[in-house]
Amino acid sequence: MTEINLRSDKRDDESHLRVLEVDGYHLPPFVKEEHFRSMKTWKARNDDIILSAYPKAGTHWLWEVLSLLVRRKAERIPEKKDTAMIEELTEEKFNSMAAPRVLNTHLDFQYLPKDLFAKRCKIVYILRNPKDIAVSYYNHHKKLLMYEFDGPWDNYFQRFMQGNVDYGSWFDYTLEMERFKEKNPDYPIHVMYYEDMKENSIKEIGKLAKFLEVDVGDELIRNIDNLCQFDKMKQEKNAGENVSAWRDNNPGMYRKGEVGDWKNWFTVAQNEMFDSIYQQKMANTTSNIRFLL
């Protein structure tokens, strides 16, 4: 295992970010290299469901919704998303999970078990305004002690734009997902947007249930939606966090959950720089990112 400290290319940034490096790919420090290298050969099940997203796109929220849908119950489950996060599992834990497995990951598809795709396991993919992701990721990195990060936002913005974070560049991740969809037009993948969930979560949960082919009525969808409102999730899930893992013993996995919080962080110059780079890198994007300016 090789742990390194990533620095941004900005010369006056003295902060570092602790990550695991495997063959040039940067992962969170909790990942074990031996498990990461072996996972391509892990065996899938036909009813596995994969929730895929770049970090801070709403995976905790959506994983909870997915888990309740497949159980057809609006009852809070004791498990946390981390217990079904592929890159955090051993093969033994992966195999011992009860069916149906609602898995989640931030990994590029090339690193995932090949059998998931051979069995055509359903994929739910969620996108979010990358400006909001950048702000949320900054707070994530700063609050979780394992990253050993304590830099200012201004320099972190440069770091994010350069992809000097675990899981790499948001731009590269998103374009790679688009290439997968283009090469596999018939693959069962359901694309969702964080902003759509915030705008009309009942409608989006209904569409998700249809994709999953689970027979749930309108009342259950409303009850699941009510149980998975952000404030309730924040209160209940943060209470179960290991406080010693967080700066000032203050869990922050659920922070604001808002749309447009980036406006409280980005300077005018940063916003202009982001828009310029986005237009260059994402000129041919097929994703319908809603910036909601």
Model confidence pLDDT, tens digit, residues 196-208: 999 999 999 999 9
User: Taking residues 74-102, what's their average pLDDT?
Assistant: 92
Cβ neighbors of 213 (< 8 A, separation 6 or more) are none
- Is residue 289 in some structural domain? no
User: Taking residues 80-96, what's their average pLDDT?
Assistant: 94
Instruction: Give me the pLDDT at residue 290, please.
Output: 83
User: Taking residues 132-153, what's their average pLDDT?
Assistant: 93
User: Taking residues 159-181, what's their average pLDDT?
Assistant: 96
- Is residue 166 in some structural domain? yes
User: Taking residues 259-267, what's their average pLDDT?
Assistant: 93
User: Taking residues 33-45, what's their average pLDDT?
Assistant: 97
24, exposed or middle or buried, with CB in 10 Å at 0-12, 13-18, 19+?
Answer: exposed
- Is residue 250 in some structural domain? yes
Gap between the Cα atoms of 137 and 182, Å rounded:
28
Instruction: Give me the pLDDT at residue 76, please.
Output: 84
Task: Give the global pTM.
Answer: 0.91
- Is residue 291 in some structural domain? no
Q: Which is it for the CA torsion 233, 65, 77, 89, positive or negative?
A: negative
* Closest listed residue to residue 140, CA positions, set 53, 267, 55, 22: 55
One-letter amino acid of 132: D
- Is residue 207 in some structural domain? yes
Gap between the Cα atoms of 166 and 293, Å rounded:
28
Of the listed ranges 77-81, 116-120, 182-186, 247-251, the one predicted with least confidence: 247-251
- Is residue 144 in some structural domain? yes
Catalytic residue, from 26, 60, 106, 140: name it.
Answer: 106
- Is residue 288 in some structural domain? no
- Is residue 240 in some structural domain? yes
Number of domains the chain is built from:
1
For residue 143, what is the domain's CATH number?
3.40.50.300
Told to judge if 106 belongs to the known catalytic residues of this protein, a careful annotator would answer: yes
